[in-house]
A = this chain, B = another copy of it.
Amino acid sequence: MMRARIQPAVVGATGYAGFELTRLLLSHPHVNTPVLLSRDQRTDASLADVYPKIACEGRGDLPFEPISWESLRAKGVDVLFCATPHEFSREWIPEAVDRGFRVVDLSGAWRLKNAAHRAVYGFSDADWRCAALDDSAVYGIPELHASAIRNAQLVANAGCYATSVIVALAPWVRGGLIDIEHGIICDSKSGVSGAGKQPTPKTHFVEVADNLSAYSVFGHRHTGEIVEQLGIVSSSLQFTPHLLPIPRGILSTIYVRVKDGVTANELNASLKAFYSGQPFVRVFSNGRLPQIKFSLNTNYCDIGFAVAPEGRRAVVVSCLDNLIKGASGQALQNMNVMFGFDQREGLQ
């Protein structure tokens, strides 16, 4: 049932994803002004202190409030967004869920069903409620899990890299069109905002500019998400992220082996059918390929592909804005599904 108007709260609005989410929420026609919660319980700060851009807009500034269950209840908060480090999400969300709040978590805390995959995060899991939540949390890509998201109490918003790869591959994997055992290779490149707002040597302008580097080869945390969502074994997937000298955007170049007898037309038809009626996936045809710029500042995930002359090898290129479809936009899209709004509300 569609609600007239809902009340969101955001923890972590000072980060890049949380800030974008806050701005999206402010423009959403069926959403009240979000409550911003401060993890370190500050009461003397506002969004404009962190984003001076806000201060000059004459709108959009919001105070941070300490976290208080009573206050959240009193304000009639319907949904909590956590744009927080996974350690915080892992610790805080069981209590929130227990108290009946619906939650969209943008971290990696609740995305993985397989304990072996979760090991990479090193959760201590002191809270006895974690195991139940690991089971009930719904992976947050609406194009794949809309009906479960609709009724979910906790949605684990998908990772940015993972979204770009899963959206590109799900149709062919589910349709049995590619030879998974041969191995799938995902060579992904991301802008710097994916590394977060915290200044580090890795995000220093001088280190990033005029450069390109691969990192976390054979060990990136999003690998588990991709494997689980595609329903394949880890050794079938090779995922290599790279740091691009641009502020935002992801391009994944994905290499697959096409099954004998499967034609380029069938590959194309599979994508078109799978995403028919989905407003935020754009399938490019006829060998046209997306570029990072095409989807910047939008909630689109763009997909295009090319097939080798001999027909056995295919390359898929997938692009999205890591802060929108890879984080805040997808979170809003999940919220829309959870509360019965049109998926496009607040995202166009």
Which residues does A use to contact B, with CB under 8 Å? 16, 52-53, 55-58, 182-183, 185, 187, 189, 192-193, 197, 199-201, 203-206, 208-214, 217-218, 235, 238, 240, 242, 244-249, 251, 253, 255, 257, 282, 284, 287-294, 296-297, 302, 306-310, 312-313, 315, 317
Query: Do A201 and B199 touch (CB < 8 A)?
Result: yes
- Report the bound CA distance from A41 to B3 in whole Å: 52
A204 touches B213 (CB 8 A): no
Q: Is the CB of A209 within 8 A of B246?
A: yes
A210 shortest CB reach to chain B, Å: 5
Give the complex CA separation of A284 and B238 in angstroms: 21
Identify the closest chain B residue to A283 (Cβ). Answer: B56
Q: Which residues of B contact A245 (CB under 8 A)?
A: 205, 209, 244-246
Report yes or no: A211 in contact with B291, Cβ–Cβ below 8 A: yes
Known: A56-B294, A203-B205, A204-B197. Is A214-B247 also a contact (CB below 8 A)? no
Number of copies: 4
Is the pair B289, A211 in contact by a Cβ cutoff of 8 Å?
no
Return chain B residues, CB-CB under 8 Å to A238: 255, 308, 313, 315
Which chain B positions have C-beta within 8 A of A308? 218, 235, 238
Contact B206 A197 (CB under 8 A): yes
A302 to B187, CA, bound (A): 19
Inter-chain CA distance A207–B134, complex, in Å, is 36
Residues of B within 8 A of A206 (CB): 16, 192-193, 197, 203, 247-248
A187 to B212, CA, bound (A): 13
Bound-state CA distance A27–B255 (Å) is: 38
Instruction: List residues of chain B with CB within 8 A of the CB of A204.
Output: 192, 197, 199, 203-205
Q: Are B246 and A187 in contact (CB under 8 A)?
A: no
The interface residues of chain B lying within 8 Å CB-to-CB of A189 are 189, 212, 242
Closest to A213 in B: B291
What is the bound-complex CA distance between A209 and B246, given in angstroms?
A: 7
